[in-house]
Amino acid sequence: MFTTFNVLFYLKKRNSNQTGPLPISLRIGVNGQRTEVSVGREWEASRWNSHAGRANGTKEDARALNAFLDSLQAKLSGCHHLLMEAGKEITAENLRDMLTGKKRQKSKMLLDVFKEHNERIEALLGNGFEPNTLKGYRTTVKHLTAFIGWKYKAEDIELNKLNHAFIIDFEFYLRSECKISGVSGAKYIKNLKKIVNSSLAHGWIPTNPFINYKSKAKAGERVFLTKDELETMCTKKIGIERMAQVRDIFLFCCYTGLAYIDIKKLKRSEIGVGVDGENWIFTTRQKTDTSSRIPLLGVALEILDKYKDHPHCDADGTLLPVLSNQKMNGYLKEIADICGITKTLTFHIARHTFATTVTLSNGVPIETVSKMLGHTNIKTTQHYAKILDIKVSDDMRMLKEKLSIK
Protein backbone atom coordinates (compact mmCIF):
# COMPACT_ATOMS: atom_id res chain seq x y z
CA MET A 1 0.00 0.00 0.00
CA PHE A 2 1.40 3.39 -1.04
CA THR A 3 1.44 6.15 1.54
CA THR A 4 2.48 9.78 1.30
CA PHE A 5 4.16 11.77 3.97
CA ASN A 6 4.94 15.43 4.48
CA VAL A 7 7.89 17.10 6.13
CA LEU A 8 8.09 20.52 7.77
CA PHE A 9 11.08 22.21 9.42
CA TYR A 10 10.08 25.02 11.75
CA LEU A 11 11.41 27.09 14.63
CA LYS A 12 10.10 25.98 18.01
CA LYS A 13 9.12 29.03 20.01
CA ARG A 14 10.35 29.48 23.55
CA ASN A 15 8.66 31.39 26.37
CA SER A 16 7.91 35.03 25.51
CA ASN A 17 10.55 36.39 27.91
CA GLN A 18 13.40 34.46 26.24
CA THR A 19 15.40 35.85 23.34
CA GLY A 20 18.05 34.60 20.93
CA PRO A 21 18.14 31.74 18.39
CA LEU A 22 15.30 29.20 18.44
CA PRO A 23 15.64 25.39 18.19
CA ILE A 24 14.72 23.86 14.81
CA SER A 25 12.21 21.00 14.88
CA LEU A 26 11.17 18.51 12.22
CA ARG A 27 7.49 17.60 11.90
CA ILE A 28 6.65 14.33 10.08
CA GLY A 29 3.07 13.68 8.97
CA VAL A 30 1.60 10.40 7.62
CA ASN A 31 -2.12 10.01 6.86
CA GLY A 32 -3.15 12.75 9.24
CA GLN A 33 -0.93 11.49 12.08
CA ARG A 34 2.20 13.42 12.95
CA THR A 35 5.19 13.41 15.24
CA GLU A 36 8.03 15.82 15.94
CA VAL A 37 11.75 15.59 16.65
CA SER A 38 14.46 18.16 17.27
CA VAL A 39 17.19 18.35 14.60
CA GLY A 40 19.78 19.61 17.10
CA ARG A 41 20.30 23.04 15.49
CA GLU A 42 19.19 26.61 16.29
CA TRP A 43 18.47 29.66 14.10
CA GLU A 44 17.38 33.26 14.44
CA ALA A 45 13.71 33.96 13.69
CA SER A 46 14.60 37.08 11.67
CA ARG A 47 16.61 34.96 9.21
CA TRP A 48 14.08 32.12 8.82
CA ASN A 49 11.62 31.52 5.96
CA SER A 50 8.68 29.78 7.66
CA HIS A 51 6.95 29.10 4.30
CA ALA A 52 9.97 27.24 2.83
CA GLY A 53 11.12 25.82 6.15
CA ARG A 54 14.66 26.94 5.44
CA ALA A 55 17.14 29.67 6.42
CA ASN A 56 17.06 32.96 4.48
CA GLY A 57 20.05 34.42 2.72
CA THR A 58 23.17 33.27 0.91
CA LYS A 59 25.66 33.54 3.71
CA GLU A 60 27.83 30.51 4.42
CA ASP A 61 26.04 29.62 7.68
CA ALA A 62 22.61 29.74 5.96
CA ARG A 63 23.80 27.56 3.05
CA ALA A 64 25.35 25.02 5.46
CA LEU A 65 22.14 24.80 7.52
CA ASN A 66 19.96 24.40 4.45
CA ALA A 67 22.26 21.64 3.09
CA PHE A 68 21.96 19.87 6.45
CA LEU A 69 18.14 20.13 6.39
CA ASP A 70 18.06 18.91 2.77
CA SER A 71 20.13 15.88 3.73
CA LEU A 72 17.71 15.07 6.59
CA GLN A 73 14.76 15.28 4.23
CA ALA A 74 16.51 13.03 1.69
CA LYS A 75 17.36 10.52 4.44
CA LEU A 76 13.71 10.52 5.55
CA SER A 77 12.64 9.74 1.97
CA GLY A 78 15.09 6.82 2.01
CA CYS A 79 13.55 5.54 5.25
CA HIS A 80 10.11 5.71 3.65
CA HIS A 81 11.35 3.69 0.67
CA LEU A 82 12.94 1.03 2.92
CA LEU A 83 9.73 0.57 4.91
CA MET A 84 7.76 0.16 1.68
CA GLU A 85 10.17 -2.46 0.30
CA ALA A 86 10.12 -4.42 3.58
CA GLY A 87 6.32 -4.41 3.60
CA LYS A 88 6.32 -2.82 7.04
CA GLU A 89 3.72 -0.40 8.34
CA ILE A 90 4.53 3.19 7.47
CA THR A 91 3.75 5.53 10.33
CA ALA A 92 5.13 8.87 11.44
CA GLU A 93 6.64 7.16 14.49
CA ASN A 94 8.34 4.45 12.39
CA LEU A 95 9.86 7.07 10.08
CA ARG A 96 11.06 9.12 13.05
CA ASP A 97 12.64 6.09 14.72
CA MET A 98 14.44 5.04 11.54
CA LEU A 99 15.70 8.58 10.98
CA THR A 100 17.03 9.02 14.51
CA GLY A 101 18.22 5.43 14.93
CA LYS A 102 16.09 5.10 18.05
CA LYS A 103 15.97 1.48 19.26
CA ARG A 104 12.54 -0.05 19.07
CA GLN A 105 11.18 -2.19 21.88
CA LYS A 106 12.93 -5.54 21.96
CA SER A 107 10.93 -8.23 20.19
CA LYS A 108 9.42 -10.99 22.30
CA MET A 109 11.12 -14.35 21.93
CA LEU A 110 9.09 -17.53 21.34
CA LEU A 111 10.70 -19.80 23.94
CA ASP A 112 10.74 -17.05 26.58
CA VAL A 113 7.00 -16.50 26.13
CA PHE A 114 6.32 -20.25 26.11
CA LYS A 115 8.30 -20.82 29.32
CA GLU A 116 6.49 -17.94 31.02
CA HIS A 117 3.21 -19.56 29.97
CA ASN A 118 4.33 -22.88 31.50
CA GLU A 119 5.25 -21.18 34.75
CA ARG A 120 1.71 -19.83 34.98
CA ILE A 121 0.29 -23.30 34.32
CA GLU A 122 2.51 -24.74 37.06
CA ALA A 123 1.24 -22.13 39.52
CA LEU A 124 -2.34 -23.19 38.71
CA LEU A 125 -1.91 -26.95 39.06
CA GLY A 126 -4.95 -28.36 40.81
CA ASN A 127 -6.88 -25.21 40.01
CA GLY A 128 -8.01 -25.87 36.45
CA PHE A 129 -4.83 -27.56 35.19
CA GLU A 130 -3.40 -31.05 35.66
CA PRO A 131 0.24 -32.27 35.75
CA ASN A 132 -0.17 -34.08 32.42
CA THR A 133 -1.18 -30.81 30.76
CA LEU A 134 1.97 -29.12 32.03
CA LYS A 135 4.03 -32.12 30.94
CA GLY A 136 2.71 -31.75 27.38
CA TYR A 137 3.61 -28.05 27.24
CA ARG A 138 7.08 -28.70 28.63
CA THR A 139 7.69 -31.42 26.05
CA THR A 140 6.61 -28.98 23.33
CA VAL A 141 9.20 -26.46 24.56
CA LYS A 142 11.85 -29.21 24.51
CA HIS A 143 11.04 -30.07 20.87
CA LEU A 144 10.86 -26.38 19.85
CA THR A 145 14.26 -25.69 21.44
CA ALA A 146 15.84 -28.59 19.54
CA PHE A 147 14.10 -27.58 16.30
CA ILE A 148 15.26 -23.94 16.46
CA GLY A 149 18.83 -25.12 17.02
CA TRP A 150 18.50 -27.65 14.18
CA LYS A 151 16.91 -25.28 11.66
CA TYR A 152 18.19 -21.82 12.58
CA LYS A 153 21.36 -22.62 14.59
CA ALA A 154 19.97 -20.36 17.31
CA GLU A 155 18.81 -20.63 20.92
CA ASP A 156 15.50 -18.85 20.33
CA ILE A 157 13.55 -16.98 17.65
CA GLU A 158 11.64 -13.70 17.63
CA LEU A 159 7.88 -14.14 17.74
CA ASN A 160 7.37 -11.74 14.86
CA LYS A 161 9.50 -14.00 12.64
CA LEU A 162 7.07 -16.92 12.94
CA ASN A 163 5.44 -17.70 9.61
CA HIS A 164 3.75 -20.54 7.74
CA ALA A 165 7.12 -22.05 6.80
CA PHE A 166 8.14 -22.23 10.48
CA ILE A 167 5.10 -24.36 11.33
CA ILE A 168 5.49 -26.64 8.32
CA ASP A 169 9.20 -27.12 9.06
CA PHE A 170 8.51 -27.82 12.74
CA GLU A 171 5.92 -30.43 11.79
CA PHE A 172 8.41 -32.02 9.37
CA TYR A 173 11.12 -32.01 12.06
CA LEU A 174 8.86 -33.81 14.55
CA ARG A 175 8.01 -36.51 12.01
CA SER A 176 11.43 -36.96 10.40
CA GLU A 177 14.01 -36.25 13.09
CA CYS A 178 12.05 -37.18 16.24
CA LYS A 179 10.11 -40.07 14.64
CA ILE A 180 6.91 -38.80 16.29
CA SER A 181 3.54 -39.97 14.97
CA GLY A 182 1.29 -37.54 13.14
CA VAL A 183 -1.25 -37.53 15.98
CA SER A 184 1.37 -36.81 18.66
CA GLY A 185 2.97 -34.17 16.46
CA ALA A 186 -0.41 -32.50 16.02
CA LYS A 187 -0.66 -32.14 19.81
CA TYR A 188 2.65 -30.26 19.94
CA ILE A 189 1.55 -28.05 17.04
CA LYS A 190 -1.70 -27.39 18.91
CA ASN A 191 0.27 -26.30 21.99
CA LEU A 192 2.34 -23.94 19.82
CA LYS A 193 -0.86 -22.53 18.33
CA LYS A 194 -2.11 -21.62 21.80
CA ILE A 195 1.02 -19.53 22.39
CA VAL A 196 0.61 -17.90 18.96
CA ASN A 197 -3.03 -17.01 19.67
CA SER A 198 -2.05 -15.48 23.00
CA SER A 199 0.73 -13.50 21.32
CA LEU A 200 -1.68 -12.23 18.67
CA ALA A 201 -4.04 -11.04 21.41
CA HIS A 202 -1.15 -9.16 23.06
CA GLY A 203 -0.12 -7.58 19.76
CA TRP A 204 3.31 -9.26 19.75
CA ILE A 205 2.72 -10.84 16.32
CA PRO A 206 1.45 -8.76 13.37
CA THR A 207 -0.10 -11.65 11.41
CA ASN A 208 -1.29 -15.17 12.25
CA PRO A 209 1.20 -17.78 10.90
CA PHE A 210 -1.48 -20.49 11.30
CA ILE A 211 -3.96 -18.76 8.97
CA ASN A 212 -3.29 -21.14 6.02
CA TYR A 213 -2.22 -24.16 8.07
CA LYS A 214 -4.31 -27.30 8.37
CA SER A 215 -3.11 -30.45 10.07
CA LYS A 216 -3.23 -33.61 7.94
CA ALA A 217 -2.81 -35.93 10.92
CA LYS A 218 -5.55 -38.49 11.33
CA ALA A 219 -6.42 -40.24 14.55
CA GLY A 220 -5.37 -43.86 14.66
CA GLU A 221 -7.94 -46.62 14.89
CA ARG A 222 -9.14 -47.05 18.46
CA VAL A 223 -8.56 -50.46 20.04
CA PHE A 224 -11.43 -52.03 21.99
CA LEU A 225 -12.48 -55.44 23.29
CA THR A 226 -14.93 -57.46 21.23
CA LYS A 227 -18.00 -59.04 22.80
CA ASP A 228 -16.23 -62.41 23.10
CA GLU A 229 -13.06 -60.87 24.57
CA LEU A 230 -15.10 -58.90 27.10
CA GLU A 231 -17.03 -62.01 28.12
CA THR A 232 -13.81 -64.00 28.48
CA MET A 233 -12.35 -61.37 30.79
CA CYS A 234 -15.54 -61.30 32.86
CA THR A 235 -15.66 -65.07 33.41
CA LYS A 236 -11.94 -65.87 33.70
CA LYS A 237 -10.86 -67.12 37.13
CA ILE A 238 -7.82 -65.16 38.33
CA GLY A 239 -6.17 -66.51 41.47
CA ILE A 240 -3.88 -63.54 42.23
CA GLU A 241 -5.86 -61.04 44.31
CA ARG A 242 -4.15 -57.86 43.10
CA MET A 243 -4.50 -58.92 39.46
CA ALA A 244 -8.17 -59.83 39.95
CA GLN A 245 -8.70 -56.42 41.51
CA VAL A 246 -7.22 -54.67 38.46
CA ARG A 247 -9.39 -56.82 36.16
CA ASP A 248 -12.52 -55.82 38.10
CA ILE A 249 -11.73 -52.09 37.96
CA PHE A 250 -10.98 -52.36 34.24
CA LEU A 251 -14.32 -54.11 33.68
CA PHE A 252 -16.12 -51.46 35.74
CA CYS A 253 -14.80 -48.86 33.29
CA CYS A 254 -15.79 -51.06 30.34
CA TYR A 255 -19.37 -50.80 31.60
CA THR A 256 -19.31 -47.11 32.63
CA GLY A 257 -16.96 -45.46 30.11
CA LEU A 258 -14.94 -43.68 32.82
CA ALA A 259 -11.32 -42.77 32.10
CA TYR A 260 -8.54 -43.69 34.55
CA ILE A 261 -8.32 -40.26 36.20
CA ASP A 262 -12.12 -40.18 36.65
CA ILE A 263 -12.40 -43.63 38.24
CA LYS A 264 -9.44 -42.90 40.52
CA LYS A 265 -11.13 -39.83 41.99
CA LEU A 266 -14.69 -41.23 41.96
CA LYS A 267 -16.28 -40.87 45.41
CA ARG A 268 -19.14 -42.74 47.03
CA SER A 269 -20.98 -39.42 47.19
CA GLU A 270 -21.09 -39.37 43.37
CA ILE A 271 -23.45 -42.36 43.26
CA GLY A 272 -27.08 -41.29 43.39
CA VAL A 273 -30.58 -42.16 42.27
CA GLY A 274 -31.41 -41.19 38.69
CA VAL A 275 -34.72 -40.26 37.07
CA ASP A 276 -35.59 -43.96 36.70
CA GLY A 277 -35.13 -44.69 40.39
CA GLU A 278 -31.94 -46.69 39.70
CA ASN A 279 -28.35 -45.99 40.73
CA TRP A 280 -26.42 -43.59 38.52
CA ILE A 281 -22.95 -42.04 38.53
CA PHE A 282 -23.05 -38.24 38.73
CA THR A 283 -19.52 -36.96 38.15
CA THR A 284 -17.44 -34.38 36.28
CA ARG A 285 -14.78 -35.37 33.77
CA GLN A 286 -11.33 -34.26 34.88
CA LYS A 287 -10.09 -33.66 31.31
CA THR A 288 -12.89 -31.45 29.99
CA ASP A 289 -14.63 -30.33 33.20
CA THR A 290 -17.97 -31.49 31.75
CA SER A 291 -20.67 -33.33 33.66
CA SER A 292 -21.21 -37.04 33.03
CA ARG A 293 -24.33 -38.97 34.14
CA ILE A 294 -24.13 -42.72 33.70
CA PRO A 295 -26.76 -45.33 34.68
CA LEU A 296 -25.03 -48.27 36.37
CA LEU A 297 -25.37 -51.60 34.57
CA GLY A 298 -25.57 -54.91 36.42
CA VAL A 299 -21.89 -55.85 36.04
CA ALA A 300 -20.80 -52.46 37.37
CA LEU A 301 -23.13 -52.74 40.37
CA GLU A 302 -21.78 -56.20 41.23
CA ILE A 303 -18.21 -54.86 41.19
CA LEU A 304 -19.14 -51.95 43.45
CA ASP A 305 -20.79 -54.30 45.90
CA LYS A 306 -17.69 -56.52 45.89
CA TYR A 307 -15.45 -53.68 47.05
CA LYS A 308 -17.84 -51.74 49.29
CA ASP A 309 -15.95 -52.80 52.44
CA HIS A 310 -12.43 -52.61 51.01
CA PRO A 311 -10.12 -50.86 53.55
CA HIS A 312 -8.58 -48.64 50.87
CA CYS A 313 -12.05 -47.38 49.89
CA ASP A 314 -13.09 -46.86 53.53
CA ALA A 315 -9.99 -44.78 54.18
CA ASP A 316 -10.55 -42.11 51.52
CA GLY A 317 -14.20 -42.52 50.54
CA THR A 318 -13.48 -43.74 47.02
CA LEU A 319 -15.52 -46.40 45.25
CA LEU A 320 -12.72 -48.69 44.10
CA PRO A 321 -9.11 -49.40 45.17
CA VAL A 322 -7.39 -47.95 42.08
CA LEU A 323 -3.61 -48.37 41.71
CA SER A 324 -1.33 -46.05 39.74
CA ASN A 325 -1.95 -45.95 35.99
CA GLN A 326 1.48 -47.47 35.35
CA LYS A 327 0.81 -50.44 37.64
CA MET A 328 -2.69 -50.94 36.22
CA ASN A 329 -1.35 -51.08 32.67
CA GLY A 330 1.40 -53.48 33.73
CA TYR A 331 -1.11 -55.90 35.26
CA LEU A 332 -3.43 -55.57 32.26
CA LYS A 333 -0.76 -56.99 29.94
CA GLU A 334 -0.53 -60.07 32.18
CA ILE A 335 -4.32 -60.32 32.34
CA ALA A 336 -4.48 -60.22 28.53
CA ASP A 337 -2.08 -63.20 28.38
CA ILE A 338 -4.17 -65.15 30.91
CA CYS A 339 -7.36 -64.46 28.90
CA GLY A 340 -5.76 -65.24 25.54
CA ILE A 341 -6.25 -61.67 24.29
CA THR A 342 -3.56 -60.71 21.78
CA LYS A 343 -4.27 -56.97 21.86
CA THR A 344 -1.94 -54.73 23.86
CA LEU A 345 -4.22 -53.69 26.69
CA THR A 346 -4.07 -50.28 28.33
CA PHE A 347 -6.54 -48.89 30.80
CA HIS A 348 -8.01 -46.45 28.27
CA ILE A 349 -9.20 -49.37 26.13
CA ALA A 350 -11.96 -49.83 28.72
CA ARG A 351 -13.43 -46.46 27.70
CA HIS A 352 -13.23 -47.42 24.03
CA THR A 353 -14.94 -50.74 24.81
CA PHE A 354 -17.83 -48.97 26.54
CA ALA A 355 -18.31 -46.65 23.56
CA THR A 356 -18.26 -49.47 21.00
CA THR A 357 -19.01 -53.02 22.20
CA VAL A 358 -21.19 -52.11 25.19
CA THR A 359 -23.26 -49.18 23.84
CA LEU A 360 -23.12 -48.34 20.13
CA SER A 361 -23.07 -51.98 19.04
CA ASN A 362 -26.21 -52.58 21.09
CA GLY A 363 -28.16 -49.77 19.48
CA VAL A 364 -27.66 -47.02 22.06
CA PRO A 365 -28.02 -43.71 20.16
CA ILE A 366 -24.76 -41.86 19.57
CA GLU A 367 -26.12 -38.73 21.29
CA THR A 368 -26.71 -40.75 24.48
CA VAL A 369 -23.25 -42.32 24.31
CA SER A 370 -21.68 -38.90 23.79
CA LYS A 371 -23.46 -37.55 26.85
CA MET A 372 -22.37 -40.46 29.08
CA LEU A 373 -18.76 -40.18 27.88
CA GLY A 374 -18.79 -36.48 28.70
CA HIS A 375 -17.68 -35.47 25.20
CA THR A 376 -17.89 -31.76 24.45
CA ASN A 377 -18.34 -32.44 20.73
CA ILE A 378 -20.31 -35.30 19.18
CA LYS A 379 -17.67 -35.54 16.43
CA THR A 380 -15.40 -37.13 19.03
CA THR A 381 -18.00 -39.86 19.60
CA GLN A 382 -18.48 -40.35 15.86
CA HIS A 383 -14.92 -41.70 15.62
CA TYR A 384 -16.15 -44.77 17.49
CA ALA A 385 -19.14 -45.24 15.21
CA LYS A 386 -16.90 -45.30 12.13
CA ILE A 387 -15.03 -48.42 13.26
CA LEU A 388 -18.02 -50.60 14.07
CA ASP A 389 -18.14 -53.04 11.17
CA ILE A 390 -20.37 -55.32 13.24
CA LYS A 391 -22.95 -52.57 13.63
CA VAL A 392 -22.83 -51.87 9.90
CA SER A 393 -23.31 -55.59 9.22
CA ASP A 394 -26.32 -55.79 11.56
CA ASP A 395 -27.92 -52.69 10.09
CA MET A 396 -27.48 -53.99 6.52
CA ARG A 397 -28.85 -57.41 7.52
CA MET A 398 -31.99 -55.73 8.88
CA LEU A 399 -32.28 -53.75 5.66
CA LYS A 400 -31.98 -56.93 3.57
CA GLU A 401 -34.75 -58.55 5.60
CA LYS A 402 -37.01 -55.54 5.07
CA LEU A 403 -36.33 -55.50 1.32
CA SER A 404 -36.95 -59.25 1.00
CA ILE A 405 -40.32 -58.87 2.71
CA LYS A 406 -41.34 -56.19 0.26
pLDDT in tens, 6-36: 899 999 887 666 678 899 999 999 888 888 9
Domain count, the chain: 3
**Does residue 215 fall inside a structural domain?**
no
Q: What is the pLDDT of residue 104?
A: 53
**Does residue 302 fall inside a structural domain?**
yes
**Does residue 184 fall inside a structural domain?**
yes
Cβ distance 249 to 332 under 8 Å?
no
Do residues 385 and 328 share a domain? yes
Do residues 300 and 352 share a domain? yes
**Does residue 213 fall inside a structural domain?**
no
Phi, psi values for residue 100, rounded to 5°: -85, -15
pLDDT in tens, 208-232: 999 988 887 766 667 889 999 999 9
Q: What is the pLDDT of residue 209?
A: 92
pLDDT in tens, 324-367: 889 999 999 999 999 999 998 999 899 999 988 898 888 888 88
Which among 217, 162, 149, 150 has a CA at the least distance from the CA of 188? 217
Output the pTM of the full model. 0.58
> Can you give the length of the chain in residues?
406
Do residues 276 and 396 share a domain? yes
Q: How far apart are CA 321 and CA 264, in angstroms?
A: 8
Do residues 45 and 193 share a domain? no
Do residues 133 and 198 share a domain? yes
| Domain span holding position 9 | 5-100
Q: What is the pLDDT of residue 64?
A: 93
19: Cα separation from own chain's centroid: 64
Please, how many CA atoms are within 13 Å of residue 186, restricted to the half-sphere of its CB? 11
Q: How far apart are CA 273 and CA 52, in angstroms?
A: 90
Under DSSP, is residue 294 helix (H, G, I), strand (E, B) or coil? strand
Cβ distance 96 to 76 under 8 Å?
no
pLDDT in tens, 274-304: 889 999 999 888 777 778 889 999 999 999 9
Please count the helices (runs of H) and the strands (runs of E) in the chain.
16, 8
Query: What is the arithmetic mean of pLDDT over 223-252?
Result: 92
